[in-house]
Amino acid sequence: MNDSDTQITVEVAYALPEQQAIIPLRVNDNCTAEEAVRLSGILQKFPEINADALQLGIFGKLTKNDIKLRHLDRVEIYRPLIADPKAVRKQRAADGKIMKKGGGDLPSEND
């Protein structure tokens, strides 16, 4: 077996609020994140993923689609944000609400 035949194991992950998929697969060691997504079959399983505008990350860190994967990397497909986090914080401040870590309102002293 020569170097070009070396394979690595990676995972491709995608999550919706009600469902998640993690697909393990073996790929050549020079495989990119985008190639792994396409090879995984996840684009067929979730047709709402825009294959032409993939936002990818590895273990929670945004990355370029052409990055070469390493053994045991997990490629994550990110969905577009529904609300702009800055706009949500600004609206909360305007409404006089206090955010605690993880979001939500702190209980008042009378609770």
Range 104-111 average pLDDT: 53
Structural domain boundaries, residue 13? 3-78
Residue 70 lies in a domain: yes
SS3 helix, strand, coil % of the chain, rounded to 5? 25, 30, 40
Total structural domains in the chain? Answer: 1
Confirm whether pTM is higher than 0.85. no
Q: 39 versus 53: which is more confidently predicted?
A: 39
Percent of the chain with pLDDT over 90: 59
Distance CA 104, CA 102 (A): 7
Question: Which is nearest to 37 in space by CA: 47, 48, 23?
Answer: 23
Q: Quick check: is 12 in a domain?
A: yes
Q: Is residue 66 part of a domain?
A: yes
At 1 the pLDDT is 41
Residue 101 has pLDDT above 70, yes or no: no
Within a domain: residue 87?
no
Residue 30: give its domain's CATH number. Answer: 3.10.20.90
94 lies in some domain:
no
Q: Is pLDDT of 38 > 70?
A: yes
Is the pLDDT confidence value at 4 over 80? no
